[in-house]
Amino acid sequence: MGGRPLGLPIPPRLQLLVTLRYYATGSFQLDMGDCCDMSLPSVSTCVKTVTSAICQLARDYIKFPSPAEEQDVMRQFAEVAAMPGVIGCVDGVHIPIISPGGEDAELYRCRKGFFSLNIMGVCNSSMLFTNLVVNWQGSAHGARIFSESVLCATLEGGQYRGYLLGDSGYACKSYLLTPIRIPRTVKERHYNASHIKTRNLIERTFGIWKKRFAILSKPMRTALSTSKKIVTACAILHNIAILNKLPIDMPEEELGPINIDILAEDDVGTGNARRASIVERFF
């Protein structure tokens, strides 16, 4: 008779492989159990255990550059489309989940009608995640998620000379520049073109991330706390894959459309002034 003898511990290597397969395929855990000759509770335990272990590596693999490192980061971003001063590209993406239940369940229903986690991500020019926020419900607006983040507070503190690039769903700030809504001059059009090409890095990052880990594109059936950890674990593994130059076939047409979000109010006093200065000096 085949199968694993009951009561034997599952080797760590097999636990890891089962979890990685679950991330990569998005298959139901029952299918995973049949494939690996493990019970559903065993697969669920493996996923929780391995996911928690991977999440402990977050500080090592998801790191925003320090002020001392930002000059090199700016130079690398400038090589993309000649946009000066960039230290990261920010955007949000909805990761589908099943209804978490309870009185607050509807808070997780996004404007597209499905339940989700609204994830804020920041990437560098190599498409590594440098910041990730996974705690918000699908109904939350991306601008609010950013404004209440630790990263926003850090940037407001004035430690950095550079800035993030975001789409028009964010308010234009001195530390987060958005496109010009109605460009009227050649310089403004050149700025917008450079901004869009550079900021598209975060769209590509999300696209590759979800392509590599199919679990991020299907409603996760795990407990809400575990789903959040899976998102974080997949971001860590994405960074490890990028650092180790693991290839993935990603045609341009599969990257998804550029996000069009609700327009946020600009900070006229500082954000627009800095943006206007950059347009005039560099474009």
Give me the pLDDT at residue 270, please: 80
11 close to 204: Cβ distance less than 8 angstroms: no
- List, in order, residues 6 or more apart from 234 with CB less than 8 Å away: 23, 209, 212, 213, 215, 216
Pairing of strands 129-137, 116-123: antiparallel
Q: Return the percentage of the chain with pLDDT > 70, whole number.
A: 86
Give me the pLDDT at residue 14, please: 86
Q: How confident is the model at residue 38 (pLDDT cuts 50, 70, 90)?
A: low
Structure letter (DSSP) for residue 106: G
Q: What is the pLDDT of residues 220-263, one digit of tens each?
A: 999 999 999 999 999 999 999 999 998 776 554 444 443 434 44
In whole angstroms, give the CA distance from residue 172 to residue 157.
Answer: 16
Q: What is the CA radius of gyration of the chain?
A: 21
**Selection from 231, 230, 199, 206 nearest residue 77 by Cα:** 199
**Selection from 173, 191, 175 nearest residue 183 by Cα:** 191
Give me the pLDDT at residue 3, please: 45
pTM to 2 decimal places? 0.88
In whole angstroms, give the CA distance from residue 125 to residue 62.
Answer: 14
Please determine, for residue 6, whether its predicted confidence score (pLDDT) is greater than 60.
Answer: no
Give me the pLDDT at residue 8, please: 59
Tell me the one-letter amino acid at 180.
Answer: I
Structure letter (DSSP) for residue 157: T
